[in-house]
Structure 1
């Protein structure tokens, strides 16, 4: 029996977000510190991995298809956030957050100042790394949106006899 597109789509829906998250976490080992919008892009990938993993457990096939398609939507959401973040980095539009470190409220001013000075100030509108003029947010957008389209196309394939 030949494998259908759903089988491949399930694996991509599981492995693509896992690879992108591994890259994000790996970049932190090399000194990159994620900004607030970087973290926003990760949450849909975490959820997509869980949903995609469940697609291997559930039955029947139409339910598997729903899980895979939902995982693809989550991957696309991360890609959409990546587009927005890349646009902020390229100054195409204004970001919706100051992307600064959070401080404890209710503290005295000197404690707040010490806390602020002890944390790195990470801005969302300045890419920390780029390759060929594309930032990590840009690569997340490209890979996530392209992967989501691929998952949709493969999942829509009919099984062959």
Structure 2
């Protein structure tokens, strides 16, 4: 395995670990995600897929796209941190399932069954950083690994 492949594998595995951690907090720790938490997951999924492609195709574009993916989740994490800390206002809407065709009774049942999760509350933190903040920190570290992979020539 080349150094480039090792770096790609490390970066993609880091995003996979972030996704697994988020799902663990959600399903094992029973911490329902807010809208911004969900948004932070998508770029990690994309980074994992890019990593798989980059292990099969050795072009510089793929690690650059991996870096861009984790940079985007870091940006969302920073935005979410600002919402949590009251630095700026977050989204005024919440996510819900499809409501078209529901009766008023079914709609009320769906609303009542949905967990109340606010983007401006910190449900868990470690060393003074929330999950959103940790996502930003780890994602910026993963970005540096993607950039090293991009600069490393495949043998």
TM-score, length of structure 1 as denominator length = 0.84
Work out the CA distance in 2 between the residues paired with 1:147 and 1:83: 15
CA distance in 2, matches of 1:15, 1:97: 34
Residues 96-135 of structure 1: pairs in structure 2 closer than 5 A: 96-99=91-94, 101-102=96-97, 104-105=99-100, 107-135=102-130
Counterpart of 2:15? 17
Question: Contact 1:100/1:121 (CA < 8 Å) preserved in 2?
Answer: no
Deviations 1:6-62 (A, max 9, x none): 23321122111001001001112111111111111111111110111011111xx4x
Where in structure 2 are there 5+ consecutive unaligned residues?
Answer: none
Q: 1:45 to 1:133 in 2, by over 3 A?
A: same
What is the total number of aligned residue pairs between the two structures? 154
Secondary structure, counterpart of 1:141 in structure 2: helix
Pair 1:140-2:139 in alignment: no
**What are the equivalent positions in structure 2 for 1:47-126 lying under 5 Å apart?**
47-58=46-57, 61=58, 63=59, 65-99=60-94, 101-102=96-97, 104-105=99-100, 107-126=102-121
Q: Which runs of 5+ in 1 are unaligned?
A: none
How far has the Cα of 1:121 moved from its partner?
A: 1.2
**One of 146, 149, 155 as aligned partner of 1:151:** 146
* RMSD over aligned Cα atoms: 2.3
Query: Quick one: distance in 1 between partners of 2:120 and 2:108?
Result: 23
Q: Provide the C-alpha distance between the structure 1 equivalents of 2:13 and 2:44, rounded to a whole number of angstroms.
A: 10
Larger Rg: 1
The 2-side partners of 1:94 and 1:14 are apart by 32
TM-score under structure 2 length normalisation: 0.87
